[in-house]
Every structure is written in C-alpha cells, then in structure tokens.
Amino acid sequence: MKRIIAGLAGDGVGPEVFASARQVLDTLDDLFGLKLEFRQALIGGAALDAGHDTPLPDATLAACNAADAILLGAVGGPRWDDYPENQRPEQGLLALRRHFDLFGNLRPVLAHSALAHCSPLKADRLADTDIMIVRELTGGIYFGDKQQQPDQASDLCIYRRDEIERVARMACRIARERSGRLTSVDKANVLATSRLWRQVVGQVVAEEFPDIRLDHLLVDAAAMHLINAPSRFDVILTENMFGDILSDEASMIVGSLGLLPSASLNADGFGLYEPIHGSAPDIAGKDSANPYAMLLSVAMMLRHSLNATYAAETLERCIYSAWDRAVFTADLGGGYRTQQITEEICQALESANLNQRVAACYE
C-alpha cells in the first residue's frame, strides 16, 4: 500500500530544505521499500504568487485530504506584508491546523555534545538536556477574535476544558514513555485562561495518569529555568503562545533554529511536519540553509504517521553521526552547503543499510 505524502515546499528556504527532505526520503524508500508517493502543492506566498487569491488553494487542501501526512517547508516573508490579513501566507498554515484539528504540537529539544560549541550555555548547564515541548496548537490568543482600531486593538484568548484535556492527555502519554515527569507551564497568577488550564491539567493527571509526576510553573519562571537549568525539564506542556515562544528560546539552547523539528498531530495520528525555523528569505536560493530541522521532521513523520520507526531511527543515527563529524552549515560554524549535507546523509543511509545487511549474514 502506498504511503502518500502531501509536499508543501512553501516560501523562502522552504523549497531548498524540502528538496533535501525529498532526496533523503527517496533514498529511504529505495533502501527500506517504504512505498512513498509525493503529491506536491502550493501554499503560502508561493500560492499567492501563482495567482491564487488564498494562501491555501482548494487543490492544496484536496491533496492534503488524500494524504497520510503533510510535509511543509516554510511559509511567509516580508514581501507579502502588505497583503490583507486573511491573505497573509501564514494563514495557509493556520487554516491547515484548523481543518485537520492539529491540536498537539511536538517540539523535541536535544542537546548533542558535538554542538555544544554552538550553545550560549556552558557545557555543564547544557549536559543531559532532552526535552519534549508539547504545545497546544489550535486554541488560545492566535485563534481568538481580533479587533483593530486606530488607537486600540484587542486579541481574545479563550480555552475550553475539552481543548485542554486532550492536549494534556497527549502530553501525559508522552511523559509515560519517557521519565514520567511533566511540567505544565501557564500564567495562572494573572490570566483566567491559565487558571482553568492549571485546574484541568491537574484533574487529568490525578484521574487518568496518577503515575505521572506533575509540577506547575509560571511561564516567566519557565523561561528562566530553560536557560539556567534546562535538564530539569523532561516534558513541557503549555498553551499556544507560550509554547511558540519557549520552543524558539529552547532552540537557541541547542545552537540554532535550524536544528529543531516539529510534528503537529490530531487525535487520529494524522500529522503535519515542518522545521520550526521560518522562511529566512535573506538566505533563500543560496544553498546555505540548514536542512537538519527538516530532516529531523522527516524522522518524526516516519515514526508518528507512516509507521516506519526503523527508518526514522536509522535517519536520526545518520544525522547524529554527521554532527559528530562536524558536517555543519554556516549557522553552526561550518562550511557545508545544503546540498552537500543532503548528499552526506544519503550516503550515510546507504552505508548504514549495507552494514546492517552484512551483519545479518553473520547472524
């Protein structure tokens, strides 16, 4: 049976990192017989530039509806800043999140020893950092009613109990597979939505996951501890805006926005996978974009939506091996180009598969 991937390259460096992902996936398909089928479509500014009046054309939505997973490069950039709010490239991504109810955003933050030189933290503070940030993705202030007048503006932040319950359950299941520790981040000393958040998360853990060790932390304290002692965290659960900010902060802990992948999942396990970095238009077309966040997003897609865990693990091992060999782009202090890293990873995958087959002959 074919595994269908809706490929949305998008804007800026999106097409370059997407091309890297496509080449790596083609290699994985050849090696492991994944039976992948790509159906590429337009999103964001690329759709607007092609003459569509929306950043999410009907044909793109249809391709996503027919897919087993969505792989996205990046959307947005300053060239579309003057478009009306409902036509901004980012609205295409927000519309996909709403349409597929992708309420749970997973952002792993892993400090690798070979990248310690890229972190602003001292090595002793960075050691043993391995965090999974679970961000609620379809509620909160980003999706609330908005009003803007010449002298004032407002954004409504609203959360329902069921929205909090389902993302809390997701975070608890992830925590159960790791160390069993969960930190819920809010601003309950000021915000009513955060007081509801804290109450509901506590109830879900007490009633359904009593084995999980839960602690609550205010978002400002969480931001401080992420810098001071990141290894104190295992799974972080938080609402939409706080998760957006904290995960970008966490990316700097490990060295670069170009290193962090993400998965946005619904209740059925359908997912949209993308690097957390933006479209970086200043380096678009220069073959200098860091592809690692995109390739790690591919690994998450293989694991969570395509039931190809072994391929995901093999890809991750090859990436970590490349880091050990200092195969880095400029943002990590190296001199490798995007395409060079892609070819290094493809060659490593082929070697890993050959070694595995040779080892099997002697078992």
* CATH number (domain holding residue 65): 3.40.718.10
- Which of these is catalytic: 155, 234, 248, 320? 248
Question: Which of 204, 228, 254 is the last residue in one of the domains?
Answer: 254
Task: Mark whether 125 and 198 lie in a shared domain.
Answer: yes
Check if 187 is active-site.
yes
So what's the pLDDT on residue 255? 82
| Neighbouring C-beta atoms of residue 227, cutoff 10 Å | 14
So what's the pLDDT on residue 124? 86
Q: Is residue 114 part of a domain?
A: no
Does residue 144 contact residue 157 with C-beta atoms inside 8 Å?
A: yes
pLDDT digits (tens, 9 = 90+) for 268-302: 999 999 999 999 999 999 999 999 999 999 999 99
Q: Is residue 32 part of a domain?
A: yes
Q: Is residue 164 part of a domain?
A: yes
Question: Which of 230, 254, 278 is the last residue in one of the domains?
Answer: 254
Q: Is residue 115 part of a domain?
A: no
What are the φ and ψ backbone dihedral angles of 112, each rounded to 5 degrees? -105, 135
Task: Mark whether 131 and 247 lie in a shared domain.
Answer: yes
Task: Mark whether 179 and 283 lie in a shared domain.
Answer: no
Task: Mark whether 93 and 149 lie in a shared domain.
Answer: no
So what's the pLDDT on residue 85? 86
Task: Report the first-to-last Cα separation within the chain, whole angstroms.
Answer: 30
Low-confidence ranges of the chain (pLDDT < 50): 358-363
So what's the pLDDT on residue 363? 45
- Which of these is catalytic: 187, 273, 292, 331? 187
Question: Which of 195, 225, 254 is the last residue in one of the domains?
Answer: 254
- Which of these is catalytic: 30, 220, 282, 287? 220
Residue 350, burial from CB neighbour count under 10 angstroms (0-12, 13-18, 19+): middle
Instruction: State the residue range of the domain holding 315.
Output: 1-105+263-363
Task: Mark whether 250 and 268 lie in a shared domain.
Answer: no
So what's the pLDDT on residue 360? 43
Task: Mark whether 60 and 90 lie in a shared domain.
Answer: yes
Task: Mark whether 322 and 234 lie in a shared domain.
Answer: no
Q: Is residue 48 part of a domain?
A: yes
Q: Is residue 112 part of a domain?
A: no
So what's the pLDDT on residue 358? 39
Rounded to 5°, the CA angle 53-57-63 comes to 170
- Which of these is catalytic: 244, 273, 331, 336? 244
Check if 248 is active-site.
yes
Q: Is residue 47 part of a domain?
A: yes
So what's the pLDDT on residue 354? 59
Note the pTM of the prediction, 2 decimals. 0.92
Check if 2 is active-site.
no
Task: Mark whether 172 and 194 lie in a shared domain.
Answer: yes
Q: Is residue 97 part of a domain?
A: yes
Check if 81 is active-site.
no
What total of structural domains would you count in the chain? 2
Task: Mark whether 197 and 72 lie in a shared domain.
Answer: no
Task: Mark whether 267 and 247 lie in a shared domain.
Answer: no
